[in-house]
Amino acid sequence: MSAFRKTVLICGVAALLAGCASYHPEPISPASSATSLDSRTLNDQRLQQFIAAELANNGKADPPPTWDLSTLTLAAIYYHPDIAIAHAKLASAEAGVITARQPPNPSLSLTNIFGTAAVAGAIPAGAAAMTVGPTI
């Protein structure tokens, strides 16, 4: 095997292996989950801002000083796990939109042409047609 073929083979194998990824699941720690759940309080500054913003949207200028059904409902919505999942899905969709707006990567393809051309003499014997451009 020639040195060129060995180099091409090594580069090809390296390129294929570079695309490989493996998944290593991480264990979920019940202690850290319990700690994060215990740290949730009604005095959280972001919760207070969320409640103030929601009450302002409903026509109430200031949040009431006591916790009533509407403010406790807003707190339950704020801490609901499906809301965090929805935020993660939204961020993923926004990233997908950004990716979709990017122009495609250019590609280079080299094609050897064997045989006769449609027009005699149009392509010299042994010529390699080369195209450079985006893949569609």
Alpha-carbon distances, residue 119 vs 17, 25, 113 (angstroms): 43, 60, 14
Q: List the domain boundaries for the chain.
A: 41-103
Evaluate if residue 81 carries a pLDDT over 70: yes
Closest C-alpha to 81, from 69, 70, 93, 89: 89
**Segment 36-45 mean pLDDT:** 85
Q: Percent of the chain scored above 70 by pLDDT?
A: 70
Q: Can you tell me the mean pLDDT for 14-19?
A: 73
